[in-house]
Amino acid sequence: MQGKKRTVLCGQLSKKDIASMHTVMGWVQRRRDLGGLVFIWLRDKSGIVQIVFNSETNIDLFNKISSVRSEYVLAITGEVVAREANNINKELSTGEIEIIAEELLILSSSETPPFEINDDVTVNEALRFKYRYLDLRRPSAQYALQVRHKIAITARNFFDKQGFMEVETPMLTKSTPEGARDYLVPSRVQPGKFFALPQSPQLFKQLLMVSGIDRYYQIVKCFRDEDLRADRQPEFTQIDIEMSFVEPEDVMDISEQMLAEVFKAVLNVDVALPLPKITYKEAMERYGSDKPDTRYSLELVNISHLVGESTFSVFSNAVSEGGSVRGINAKGCAERFSRKDIDALTQHIKTYRAKGLAWIAITAEGYRSSINKFFTDEQLKEIADCMNGQIGDMLFIVADTNKIVFDALGQLRQEVARRADLIDNSKYNLLWVTEFPLLEYDDENGRYVAMHHPFTSPMDEDLEKLGKDNLAIRAKAYDIVLNGYELGGGSIRIHSSEIQQKMFAQLGFSQEDIQNRFGFLVDAFKYGAPPHGGLAFGLDRIAMLMCGADSLRDVIAFPKMQNASCLLTSAPSDVEEKQLIELNIALSLKKENI
């Protein structure tokens, strides 16, 4: 840089620097030519500062700046001066000052970018991620990465003070398929065999507890080969912890303390501790979801006892077949939702297998309803009273199996809240959901599966139900939820070889399966395993919510797109034939993939 040294970042300059000489370096955000004056906005990671080039005071420098365009990289030396009062820009942190240029060095030129580098630009997401290195120059993208950094460094400092040790676990490990698909890595030196990229450090962190590490943490990359959603990526980052000689309350206590420090450090938000706790059963009954958004009410109300014997067969059949009829009260929304809106909401819940949506609008004139012909005004009043309905309210009702009712109404309350503008985006409502079911039945495969994973411990008082009443067993499992998103989940693990064997038996694993998949863990438990438990936070998801972003892609430096591809590098890609030969791999592609 021809001896030039940056003396300050662009966004760090202020009135205290007036009359001092400084050298700033960065990218040209904007160039404005007013004849004898040229104004340059120079941008770096800290912000923007205005540079003035005057033809009357330095004609050579003025002529040199004439060739400069957006995204050129410059080094500029000059005196910091105060702006005139009518030229102060309150939108810039440096808006009270500017630099009168005295020296200019063009460090790098730039072609015209495919889109403007600012937060107001509306451009196709695919184009942004193809040129992600340009997209990352935008202030919001820079902010997202700063938030990630702050979350990670705060977590590290917290756990270090609490006596945790950061231990790295392997990236090349054993495939233990149970749940999401593994990403597989072929072995060159052992033909026909494969490593798997870890979906979680779960087994290794349990082995660390057997090793006597006592308190472990890791900020770790994990991988899952699954279909993408806005809040999922094939590779993601966890803040992972495990502790020995603990019960659920111990893990939850240390986890929420860490989260409170992160919120204070990143957003200057004070989180009141301890966090509220509700059981899985209560969460489903009240919100239809095990990750409820509690920034608004719209709680579910069970009206099965009122309509179970009605002439409306949709309601009566649901109750007689062991299901239920439940609804939500959209307060003050009787006139807000048109028939077109209701039709849209009906289609929305059909995505979750609900057959339809009944509704009752309570007006000063009486009840407008999709089920008027099946119920008298007195019966409709009974339903309205049960749901705390008043004039101006809109009641939405779903009838089906409990699972479908919970799923449909859980999604409906979110959609109603969004459409009715009931969500306070300034709130951060954190809570714990506890006592998850240990097992659920997989109708497709005809067997029980673990709701969390096979190493989750049953609650002590439910142990005797194992193998007798599996669906009634509660787990020592806990999720931490923020505004309708699961931030993290964990459990107390099974440390008894006997109980672990019983758990495997309920999952339908043969002794051969157990040995092939988990033999190393089972063997380790023979040598004295302490009671232990832990939790994993999704760092990407925390960053997404703290930034107010709509997608994980916006808070990951180089994310994958919907088809798990990287537009920037064109990965995944073909490889050379000799690479496949070295790995003893021959390709046999399905016709639809060719």
Q: Each residue of 71-102: pLDDT tens digit?
A: 999 999 999 999 999 999 999 999 999 999 99
pLDDT band at residue 592 under the 50/70/90 scheme: low
pLDDT band at residue 62 under the 50/70/90 scheme: confident
Specify whether 416 is located in the same domain as 440. no
Nearest in space to 409 (alpha carbons), one of 359, 334, 477, 478: 359
pLDDT score at 594: 53
CATH no. for residue 447?
3.30.930.10
Residue 526 lies in a domain: no
pLDDT band at residue 232 under the 50/70/90 scheme: confident
pLDDT top residue among 152 and 587 = 152
CATH no. for residue 307?
3.30.1360.30
Specify whether 47 is located in the same domain as 103. yes
Here the tokens at position 205 are: 């962190």
Question: Do residues 144 and 549 make contact, with C-beta atoms less than 8 angstroms apart?
Answer: yes
pLDDT score at 45: 94
Residue 132 lies in a domain: no
Which pTM was predicted?
A: 0.92
From residue 385, alpha-carbon distances to 332, 375, 580 in Å are 15, 14, 70
Write the pLDDT tens digit of every residue in 125-176: 999 999 999 999 999 999 999 999 999 999 999 999 999 999 999 999 998 7
Specify whether 352 is located in the same domain as 444. no
Specify whether 237 is located in the same domain as 305. no
Nearest in space to 236 (alpha carbons), one of 160, 166, 148, 314: 148
Q: How are beta strands 277-279 and 430-434 bridged, if at all?
A: parallel
Where a domain ends, among 383, 403, 423?
423
Residue 328 lies in a domain: yes
Nearest in space to 207 (alpha carbons), one of 525, 503, 514, 511: 525
- 153: amino acid identity, one letter: I
Please give the tally of structural domains in the chain: 3
Q: What percent of the chain has pLDDT over 90?
A: 88
Residue 232 lies in a domain: yes
Write the pLDDT tens digit of every residue in 347-374: 999 999 999 999 999 999 999 999 999 9
pLDDT score at 513: 87
Distance, in Å, from the CA atom of 38 to the CA atom of 66, rounded to the nearest integer, reads 8
Nearest in space to 539 (alpha carbons), one of 251, 231, 277, 243: 231
pLDDT band at residue 179 under the 50/70/90 scheme: low
The sheet with strand 215-223 has its strands ordered as: 165-166, 215-223, 235-244, 532-538, 485-492, 477-482, 430-434, 277-279
Specify whether 484 is located in the same domain as 361. no
pLDDT score at 155: 98
Tokens 């599966």 belong to which residue? 449
pLDDT score at 176: 77
Torsion angle of alpha carbons 123, 129, 132, 137, nearest 10°? Answer: 30
Specify whether 149 is located in the same domain as 268. yes
Where a domain ends, among 390, 423, 456?
423
Residue 512 lies in a domain: no
CATH no. for residue 91?
2.40.50.140
Instruction: Judge whether residue 231 has pLDDT over 80.
Output: no
Mean pLDDT confidence for 505-515: 90
Residue 120 lies in a domain: no
pLDDT score at 443: 87
Q: DSSP label at 83?
A: P
| Helix boundaries (H) for 353-447 | 377-386, 402-419
Specify whether 404 is located in the same domain as 307. yes
Specify whether 326 is located in the same domain as 271. no
Residue 510 lies in a domain: no
pLDDT score at 1: 52
Specify whether 159 is located in the same domain as 262. yes
pLDDT score at 4: 82
Q: Which domain holds residue 244?
A: 142-278+431-497+531-555
Specify whether 25 is located in the same domain as 86. yes
- In what helix (H) or strand (E) does residue 67 lie, and over which residues does it extend? none
From residue 459, alpha-carbon distances to 210, 278, 466, 493 in Å are 21, 16, 11, 11
Distance, in Å, from the CA atom of 218 to the CA atom of 222, rounded to the nearest integer, reads 11
* Angle between helices 402-419 and 339-350 in degrees, nearest 10: 140
Specify whether 146 is located in the same domain as 263. yes
Specify whether 213 is located in the same domain as 229. yes
pLDDT score at 180: 78
pLDDT score at 2: 65
Q: Name the average pLDDT for the chain.
A: 94
Nearest in space to 251 (alpha carbons), one of 242, 260, 239, 259: 242
| Residue 137: HSE in the Cβ half-sphere, 13 Å Cα cutoff | 22
pLDDT score at 335: 92
Write the pLDDT tens digit of every residue in 492-509: 999 998 999 999 999 998
pLDDT band at residue 428 under the 50/70/90 scheme: very high
Where a domain ends, among 89, 108, 127?
108
Radius of gyration of the chain (CA): 30
Residue 289 lies in a domain: no
- In what helix (H) or strand (E) does residue 145 lie, and over which residues does it extend? helix 139-161
